Structures are given as structure tokens and as C-alpha cells.
Amino acid sequence: MVPEPSMSTNLEITMALVQKSLRIAAAAAVAVAAIAAPVVASAGVGYIGYPDLAGNWTATLNGFTGCGSSAMLVTFNLNSAGAGTASLTTHGQCGDSVATGQTFKVTALNTNGTGTAGLSCGVGCGWNLRLQVSPDRQIMNLIDVDPVNPGNYIAGVAVHY
């Protein structure tokens, strides 16, 4: 005949099972928390400098120019000093045009990504742009609010690719 387990043995077995279940539940909670935790990108850390802008960009600009209402597509490639050549495709009140060999030059850049740039648009034509580069260096907002350049009210966004 097999002796029946005592009450304390049953209690010990039950407590062991409860403790094991708690350990499993705690491990599962930690795993779920680790998976659900947001991932923070490190590309936005640090100062923004001219070399961060090097490479290909595409911008869409629209507004009013010396030629009336216009929509523009600008592609440009910047070197590590923030200067490069641009191609400007325009659709507006003065008609459609493509101007290649234009210049895009970042003339000032603060470490927080604010700055200024110049974009030429043909002989005797150009815009003085204010800019803001995003912390991840992938987006640049552009706007011409320079009083030296009256009659030009353009704004847009450039994407770095």
C-alpha cells in the first residue's frame, strides 16, 4: 500500500507550481515589453553639417514668381560643401520650360539645420531661400521670404535620396 502524501507535501507541490507559473509570466511580460518598446533612430542625433546634405535631392516648389503662378520640380546633387547643379522643370503662366545647369548652393547652415540657399533659374533669375533640414537629414523645407527678392513667393519641400 502506498502512503498518502501529507498535507504539507501537497502544499509544497502547489507552491512550486505557482512559483514556476509566476516566473514564466514574468519572463513573458519582459519579452512583450522588449518587443513593444519603440525603436529610436540615431540618425537624428548630433549637429547637421554640409556633408550631411551631400547627394541627390528632389524638390517640389510652387507659388508666385516674376512669371506668375508656377509649379516647379527641381532635382539637384550637392557636394560635401553644399553646392551643386540643378535641373528646374517649370509649369506656369509663362508656359512650360526645363532649365538644366542651374546652381543650388547652401550659403549658410546652422548646426540645428536652419540656413539659407540660392537657386538659379536662368540668366538674371534666382531665389534666395530659407531652409530647414530635418534631424534625420532626409527632408529640407524651402521658402523664399527674402525682401531683397520682391514678387517671388515660392515654397516647397526637398527629399534626400
Specify whether 30 is located in the same domain as 55. no
pLDDT, one tens digit per residue, over 41-71 is 445 568 999 999 999 999 999 999 988 999 9
For residues 145 and 153, what is the distance between their CA atoms, to the nearest angstrom?
7
Dihedral in degrees, nearest 10, Cα atoms 41, 42, 46, 48: -60
- Regarding whether 57 and 31 lie in a shared domain, the answer is no
Task: Say if residue 3 is in the same domain as residue 82.
Answer: no
The verdict on residue 122 lying in a domain is yes
Q: What percent of the chain has pLDDT over 70?
A: 73
Given a cut of 90, is residue 121 above it in pLDDT? yes
The answer as to whether 44 is a domain residue is no
Comparing 6-10, 81-85, 146-150, 153-157, the range with the smallest average pLDDT is 6-10
Q: What residues make up the domain containing 76?
A: 50-160
- Answer whether residue 23 is part of any domain: yes
Same domain, 29 and 59: no
Are residue 60 and residue 83 in the same domain, yes or no? Answer: yes
Q: Are residues 153 and 77 in the same domain?
A: yes
Average pLDDT taken over every residue of the chain: 86
Cα 161 to Cα 159: distance, rounded to the nearest angstrom: 6
Element (H, E) at 116: strand 114-120
- Domains held by the chain: number: 2
Answer yes or no: do 88 and 149 share one domain: yes
